[in-house]
Structure 1
Amino acid sequence: MAATRVDLSRVHVVVPNFKKRLSGVTSTIIQLVPLQAKQIGIATLGPGLPDHLPKLRWWQVPGLLRRPQGAPLRVWHARRNPEMLAGVVLRDVFRAPLKLVFTSASQRHHTRWTKFLIRRMDAVIATSRKTAAYLDVPNTVVMHGIDTDRFHPPADRAEAARELGLDPDRLHVGCFGRIRHQKGTDLFVDAMIELLPRHPQWSAVVAGRATPEHKGFEAGLRERVERAGLADRILFVGEHKDIERWYRPLSLFIAPQRWEGFGLTPLEAMASGVPVVATDVGAFSELIEDGVTGTLIPRDDLGAMIAAAGDWMGDETGRYQAAGNGLERARERFVLQGEAEQLVSMYEEMIRL
């Protein structure tokens, strides 16, 4: 598919993406830009993005030194340090008519270099209230949303399992994301090794990939599963681009992260009609209503994970109620279109000022 050609004179917002490898930030851009393009002239810049997005070419960058058609300036929306730096250089060294906005998802104290760059932004966005607490500058909270057309409950959960080669007669509990210590995949595996013998009707699904530096970690988990005699019930299914299909057979989702910037998987599960057990990291406490859509547990607490997951696995009525509550909450408060509209409103205000 040929890349979308972009008329730079009509671009009022530039979204740089300087990281080639797929990440949560890249995924956010991929989902938001098509919606925003229906409301404002917007284009991406950089590698690692699909061709269906509006893209500037590197040779068009000098054109950013000129004003766009019908506006006094453009907005440069950065989400990483190198992208903030590029915006500062364009605006302050080359005098490009730009206003700079940065989105922070980090829940830790920023380095001096990052703080230096953030102070040079014209506006700063935090993806959650927790993130906002780590910022030393005025900011606006704009929480992530998800595509509720893509993530939705199945018409038939057993049939959804059958289509993926899973046993349609079993209930499934899932854990999705990169396989690594930070993501807590080991906690999930250990919890399932403890729980599955007590719940013979359940199986567990681990979806995601281990990057080369984490292959040994994954191998160790698989070895634990083998030793427990559960290789046929704790399934490592790899990475899938159509991950929405893997939520639909689930009856419970666990987000075991030890650290997270925001974390979309609980929302994806809730929008798919699945109750969630999640550690209290990232924005999870702002996404999940404890006891209503799932359960929040302390980070890195295997005992709490086993207890919470076991309670839900043994409570069919509770799972049904939580699934409905989570679906309603996701659709009312965390729709991707709402995030896109909030950002476009900010862009338009910055361009007018």
Structure 2
Amino acid sequence: MDTRIEAAGQTGRRAPAPDMDRVEVVAPNLKRRLSGVTSTIIQLVPLQAEMLGIATLGPGLPDSLPRMRWWQVFALLKRPASGRKRIWHARRNTEMVAGLVLKTLFRAPLKLVFTSAAQRDHRPFTKWLIRRMDAVIATSARSGGFLDVPHTVIMHGVDLEEFHPPRSGGDAFSASALPGKYAVGCFGRVRHQKGTDLFVDSMIELLPHYPDWTAVIAGRVTAEQKAFGDELESRVAKAGLSDRVVFLGEVPDIKPWYRRVSLYVAPSRNEGFGLTPLEAMASQTAVVASDAGAYAEMIVPGVTGSVVAAGDGDALTEAIRPYLADPALAEAHGVNALAHVTEHFPLQREAAAIRTIYDQVWAQG
């Protein structure tokens, strides 16, 4: 996901400043560091812009999005041409604070909406902020369980045009020039939280028994995680599997790799939401995942993949084993996964559900 966000953030021609008389929703992104929230805004806003007047505000976003300039913040002190109060859709504490400051101190005519992905008990200050929102969205039933206020669950969707089944020879694993007939992948930042070590240990256990398979690990290793990454590569080398557990590092485009692997593994110890299983399933790839984030709410066990307890390396290994033993099972579950995501997780469905929340907020007056 990191490479996809960065690619989206690369600048092209900068869109002109939006006409604030037409902007009825502001999607702030008050954090420079790229994150899952940034990715959500990048994906959703173009779809939302087809339904209503919306603009982003803040750094770290691609120039192609409708972006308010900082001097246009003053325009929030009056209503748009529609006469309705603007919606300020926050996804972080800082953005809730900014919305409250604008609304209470500067008397900006705003309605405040907050989306929560956190799967932990919120701190008192965060709870105080959430209680002052006009509407609250949870990205999963699990995250909603940590909210003390009425809320609506709207799970993230996936762009089915960007993530799709194999369409050409370049989408076949053979195009990678790596050894073996089949591949199992694990993508994302290489770090303890993401469970990359659990995946490596499973591969060291399993691959000697399944010579047709190769493991592919793709994702950034930050300076802070270099020792962790080096240690994983050392483990693989000691097991004599350096040619079959391949560390690609950060790749320019991860999407073809979802199509090349027959099985995707998401072994995170904890997540906020976690989009990679949806991206894999949209690519017609079966998924084995931990129950971190919203993974368990995406996968139909025995139909599209398998779910195991987060942090349980032995359970992860045993969940992966049947797919390596029977590639036809991976293929069948991949087909089921695509059908499941197409029905339940298209990005358009998420955008439409959020629009419904906006309409409910506006109906309150």
TM bucket normalised to smaller: over 0.9
Q: 1:211 deviation in Å?
A: 2.1
Indicate which of 265, 281, 289 corresponds to 1:270.
281
Task: From the superposition, tell whether residues 134 and 215 of structure 1 become closer, same or farther in structure 2 (CA, over 3 Å).
Answer: same
Please say if 1:180 is aligned against 2:191: yes
Indicate which of 94, 107, 115 corresponds to 2:127.
115
Summarize deviations over 1:20-73 as a string: whole Å, max 9, x none.
121111001100000000000000000000000000011111111011111321
User: 2:171 and 2:28 mapped to 1: Cα distance?
Assistant: 41
* 2:151 equivalent in structure 1: 139
Q: 1:210 deviation in Å?
A: 2.0
How does 1:48-127 map onto structure 2 within 5 Å?
A: 48-127=60-139
Aligned residues between the structures? 352
Q: 1:176 deviation in Å?
A: 0.8
Indicate which of 206, 222, 230 corresponds to 1:219.
230
TM-score relative to the length of structure 2: 0.93
Query: 1:71–1:351: 8 Å Cα contact kept in structure 2?
Result: no
Identity of aligned residues (%): 56
User: 1:204 and 1:115 mapped to 2: Cα distance?
Assistant: 43
What amino acid is aligned across from residue 53 of structure 2 in structure 1?
G
User: 1:308 and 1:48 mapped to 2: Cα distance?
Assistant: 38
Match of 1:191, SS state, is: helix
Which segment drifts farther, 314-323 or 133-142? 314-323
* 2:19 equivalent in structure 1: 7
Q: 1:139 deviation in Å?
A: 0.3
User: 1:128 and 1:101 mapped to 2: Cα distance?
Assistant: 16
How does 1:1-353 map onto structure 2 within 5 Å?
A: 1-5=12-16, 6-155=18-167, 159-163=171-175, 165-167=176-178, 169-353=180-364
Name structure 2 gaps, 5 residues minimum: 1-11
The two structures, once aligned, show a CA RMSD in angstroms of: 1.4
Match of 2:194, SS state, is: coil
TM-score relative to the length of structure 1: 0.97
Summarize deviations over 1:202-249 as a string: whole Å, max 9, x none.
111111112222121111111111211211111111223522111011
Name structure 1 gaps, 5 residues minimum: none
What amino acid is aligned across from residue 208 of structure 2 in structure 1?
P
